[in-house]
Amino acid sequence: MGTLDGNGFQYPLPGSLKFNSDNTFTMYALFIFFPGGVEEARDSISGTIISIDSLQDGRTRINTNIQTRFNGAATTAIYITDRKKMVGIAADPNQAPTFQLEIFPAAGVSANGEWAGPSRTPGSNDYAYPDLSTITFLANEIVPVTYYRRAGQPVMLTVQEQLRIVYQQRGARVYMDGYDESRNGGTRIPYFGVLLPSGDKMMVHSRSMYARLPNYISTSEPYGPNGATPIISRH
């Protein structure tokens, strides 16, 4: 899990790579491609392992050929260092890495708990990435759900019923909804999250035009620093 090259996006996108048992791998992210000039959104892409080399410096090189970004060269090699870090490299050595990932621990990490973006004003309830601040994941229910608080108070669906939304965690990947209390009396926003190996941070992104995320048009940076991948933390 880690980030894809941010070329063409507001910031490097969260991504997760899974090796399969049939000599292929799957990269998960909120991709956008333009085949034939037509926009196409995809949640994952697959690549083939052409060959594997053990290098003299101790790294492992996986040779492949996969288009991981819509406006640049394909990833032709994946370098693994110390079985901890993976870097995607394009055929052109002058280009920046196409992605940089860390290997998820075999024991896994649960999203269970309360999360929020960094506080914009110390001691206040004003957070960056407010759609996901504060969000509580409850993994131990029959169906895992999220709850939300705003200004210290629970978000209610009715006077007596607290808002709760089903989420899914698959390895490092978390599929969830954020919540914007300021839009249309309360609006759910679909999000994709990737847990970091430490278990206390999660990179997040959304395709929704209504997601309250960094955008260079908003020079005052109301939802977090421009150019930086949004990260929420366990509280």
Tens-place pLDDT, residues 133-173: 899 999 988 999 999 998 889 999 888 899 999 999 999 99
Instruction: Tell whether 42 and 20 lie within a shared domain.
Output: yes
Bridging pattern class, strands 153-154 and 145-150: antiparallel
Question: Is 92 within the bounds of a domain?
Answer: yes
Q: What is d(CA 229, CA 199) in angstroms, rounded to the nearest whole number? A: 17
* Tokens 């920046």 belong to residue: 96
Instruction: Output the pTM of the full model.
Output: 0.91
Q: 180-204: per-residue pLDDT in tens? A: 999 988 999 999 999 999 889 999 9
What percentage of the chain reaches a pLDDT higher than 90?
A: 51
Question: Is 61 within the bounds of a domain?
Answer: yes
Question: Is 204 within the bounds of a domain?
Answer: yes
When divided into structural domains, the chain yields a total of: 2
* pLDDT on residue 1: 61
Question: Is 162 within the bounds of a domain?
Answer: yes
Q: What is d(CA 54, CA 40) in angstroms, rounded to the nearest whole number? A: 36
Question: Is 108 within the bounds of a domain?
Answer: no
Averaged over 44-52, what is the pLDDT? Answer: 93
What is the token pair recorded at 160?
A: 């007596």
What percentage of the chain reaches a pLDDT higher than 70?
A: 95
Averaged over 213-220, what is the pLDDT? Answer: 86
Instruction: Tell whether 79 and 148 lie within a shared domain.
Output: no
Residues spanned by the domain of 159: 113-234
Instruction: Tell whether 91 and 130 lie within a shared domain.
Output: no
**Closest to 96 measured CA to CA, from 172, 3, 10:** 3
Instruction: Tell whether 118 and 230 lie within a shared domain.
Output: yes
Q: 52-81: per-residue pLDDT in tens? A: 999 988 899 999 998 887 766 688 999 999
Instruction: Tell whether 97 and 117 lie within a shared domain.
Output: no
Instruction: Tell whether 193 and 166 lie within a shared domain.
Output: yes
Counting Cα atoms < 13 Å in the Cβ hemisphere of 104 gives: 21
Instruction: Tell whether 135 and 96 lie within a shared domain.
Output: no
Averaged over 2-26, what is the pLDDT? Answer: 84
Question: Is 107 within the bounds of a domain?
Answer: no
Q: At residue 11, what is the residue type?
A: Y
Q: 91-100: per-residue pLDDT in tens? A: 877 788 888 8
Instruction: Tell whether 68 and 144 lie within a shared domain.
Output: no
Question: Is 163 within the bounds of a domain?
Answer: yes
pLDDT band at 108 (very low <50, low <70, confident <90, very high): confident
Q: Which of 55, 79, 102 marks a domain boundary?
A: 102
Instruction: Tell whether 120 and 167 lie within a shared domain.
Output: yes
Instruction: Tell whether 11 and 58 lie within a shared domain.
Output: yes
Instruction: Tell whether 128 and 83 lie within a shared domain.
Output: no
Question: Is 191 within the bounds of a domain?
Answer: yes
What's the mean pLDDT when you consider all of the chain?
Answer: 89
